[in-house]
Amino acid sequence: MALSPSRFKRPKFERSAWREWLIIIGPILLLVVAAFALTSHFIKPAPPDTFIFTAGAEGGAYHRHALQYRDILARDGIKMQVKTSAGSLQNLARMRGATPEASAGFVQGGTTEPEDSNSLLSLGRMFYEVVWVFHRLPPDTVRLSQLRGKRVAIGPSGSGTNQLVRQLLKSSDVTAQNSTLLELSSKDSLEKLSAVEIDAAFIVAGPEADILQAPLRSKDIHLMNLAQADAYAMRHGHLSRITLHQGVVDLKDNIPSHDIQMIGAGAMVAVRDDLHPALQFALAQAAAEVHRRPSIIHAENHFPQVQSSELPMSTVAERFHKSGPPFFQRYLPFWLAVLADRLLVLLIPIATILLPLIKIVPFLYSWRVRKRLWHWYDELKKLEQALSDAPGDKEKHRAEIKRIDEAVSDIPVPVEYSDQYYNLRSHVEFVRRRLESHAAAAPSET
């Protein structure tokens, strides 16, 4: 019996394995790419490397702290441009509106408007702006109501100091109608107080301000020990009672000579809500580095304080203040940590899709190969049934076994399934021999 040339064809082992994997993995990769593209729409772009911070007058506490932030951020390659301003009110004006002049700035407690909550966030209270009330009145002047009828400097027009002092005096019935309220700068106020041209001056400043040293050491100027400090703090949520302890300014000369009660407004760092979260985090971290240090009016780590009484807290800053830097920020440079965070956000949903699919890939691979072999087993079974049902159709059966043999020879089968492949080939040969046996026996039966 002449053997069909197809029976000597080389099996397609060499190219079949990678072809099978490509057919199975290709759709999975397309699904992953689609998931990647979909997820990327919900991820903020990389943060800009520059933003504008509106501070305060040059040489003041706002400006000095802003420069400290700038230097800390520069270590991570972030450029923070510091703009001087007239104070809290101008800072708020610069951050408002659709085309703001600044993305972040200092804001004094009590100066915001309700609508500011729609576009601004707080990174936390960073320090106290203490209300220092210096006067040339009798030492037992301990209530603001005792300033009624006096000449009082209340800070320059349009400043946060002016707005805060007017609130305090109004609650004590000290108004422009019953007293002389002069809108003077801190420097001018203290000069006129020293020259006995006014009776009292309100200075809103941090405890380290150089301008405070002279009046604190003066024998003719007194610092008001505010008897109603707690009452003011309770009536105005943005205020806190502050104690200036005996001797804390100068231990040698015992300045002050006794504990003095004052009040102070919390100064916060405010940011626009569209400032990139990574920059919010970096700025909150820089502020914490500066303000966690102790001062003469509070202990170490008293600031920053998480608060949301006026502006909603930034979730990024709140998480940082409560839990510290996230994992990547602790061990990687800023920009590398930002990249890692963004990639992680992308990888989580992709991994959610990919991992289950990877588990079923081997099963799909095996099923596809076996399915190809099972098909031809089914064809062989049908041919065997035809041999029994119609043994006289010899030429038709020969054509069918030839077709099956040639088709099986062309099946692409991975090398690791060669045993099953050759098992199929042996069964094809078995059916061929049975067919020829039937054909040889047919003449003797007629």
CATH code of the domain in which 83 resides: 3.40.190.10
253 and 384 in a single domain? The answer is: no
Q: Give the residue, 320 or 331, on which the prediction is more confident.
A: 320
E strand intervals along 136-282: 151-153, 180-182, 200-205, 222-223, 239-244, 260-272
* Domain assignment of residue 355, yes or no: no
Average pLDDT over residues 181-189: 95
Q: Give the residue, 54 or 354, on which the prediction is more confident.
A: 54
pLDDT of residue 5: 47
CA proximity to 60, closest of 163, 134, 159: 159
Range of the domain at 387: 5-34+361-445
Upper half-sphere CA count for residue 32 (Cβ side, 13 Å): 15
Which of 324, 347, 379 is at the close of a domain? Answer: 324
Q: Is 317 exposed, middle or buried (0-12, 13-18, 19+ CB in 10 A)?
A: buried
pLDDT of residue 446: 43
Cα(426)–Cα(420) distance, integer angstroms: 10
Of the pLDDT bands very low, low, confident and very high (cuts 50, 70, 90), residue 28 is: low
Cα–chain center distance at 4: 71
What percent of the chain has a predicted confidence (pLDDT) above 70?
Answer: 85
Cα(211)–Cα(216) distance, integer angstroms: 9
33-37, 316-320, 381-385, 429-433: least confidently modelled range:
33-37
Cα(91)–Cα(57) distance, integer angstroms: 11
CA proximity to 236, closest of 266, 194, 272, 201: 266
Average pLDDT over residues 268-287: 94
Residue 382 has pLDDT above 90, yes or no: no
Alpha helices in 12-60 (DSSP H): 16-40
Cα–chain center distance at 220: 53
88 and 226 in a single domain? The answer is: yes
* Domain assignment of residue 247, yes or no: yes
Tell me how long the chain is.
446
Of the pLDDT bands very low, low, confident and very high (cuts 50, 70, 90), residue 40 is: low
pLDDT of residue 387: 79
CA proximity to 337, closest of 349, 350, 323, 325: 325
Residue 210 has pLDDT above 50, yes or no: yes
100 and 29 in a single domain? The answer is: no
CA proximity to 51, closest of 266, 267, 278, 268: 278
197 and 275 in a single domain? The answer is: yes
Q: How many domains does the chain have?
A: 2
Q: Over the stretch 297-327, which tens digit does the pLDDT of each residue have?
A: 999 999 999 876 689 999 999 989 888 887 7
pLDDT of residue 342: 65
Cα(313)–Cα(124) distance, integer angstroms: 7
Q: Give the residue, 127 or 14, on which the prediction is more confident.
A: 127
SS3 label, residue 270: strand
Torsion angles phi and psi, residue 249, rounded to 5: -75, -45
Cα(349)–Cα(18) distance, integer angstroms: 28
Average pLDDT over residues 268-294: 94
* Domain assignment of residue 338, yes or no: no
The per-residue pLDDT of the chain, averaged, comes to 86
Q: Over the stretch 56-66, which tens digit does the pLDDT of each residue have?
A: 988 888 999 99
Cβ contact 304:124 at 8 Å? yes
Containing H/E element for 128? Answer: strand 120-135
Cβ contact 156:166 at 8 Å? no
Residue 174 has pLDDT above 80, yes or no: yes
Cα–chain center distance at 154: 41
55 and 23 in a single domain? The answer is: no
Average pLDDT over residues 338-357: 69
pLDDT of residue 360: 75
Cα(282)–Cα(71) distance, integer angstroms: 12
Which of 271, 297, 324 is at the close of a domain? Answer: 324
Angle between helices 88-95 and 160-171 (to 10 degrees): 120
* Domain assignment of residue 419, yes or no: yes
Residue 269 has pLDDT above 90, yes or no: yes
Upper half-sphere CA count for residue 368 (Cβ side, 13 Å): 18
* Domain assignment of residue 329, yes or no: no
Average pLDDT over residues 348-370: 73
268 and 376 in a single domain? The answer is: no
CA proximity to 248, closest of 238, 258, 240, 239: 258
99 and 220 in a single domain? The answer is: yes
382 and 281 in a single domain? The answer is: no
pLDDT of residue 293: 92
**The Cα angle at residue 216 between residues 214 and 222, in degrees rounded to 5:** 120
Q: Give the residue, 108 or 335, on which the prediction is more confident.
A: 108
Tell the residue number behind the tokens 């380290």, with chain if given: 208
35-39, 129-133, 265-269, 376-380: least confidently modelled range:
35-39
Which token pair is 30?
Answer: 């397309």
Q: Over the stretch 68-123, which tens digit does the pLDDT of each residue have?
A: 999 999 998 999 999 999 889 999 999 998 899 999 999 999 899 999 999 999 99
Tell the residue number behind the tokens 């576009």, with chain if given: 119
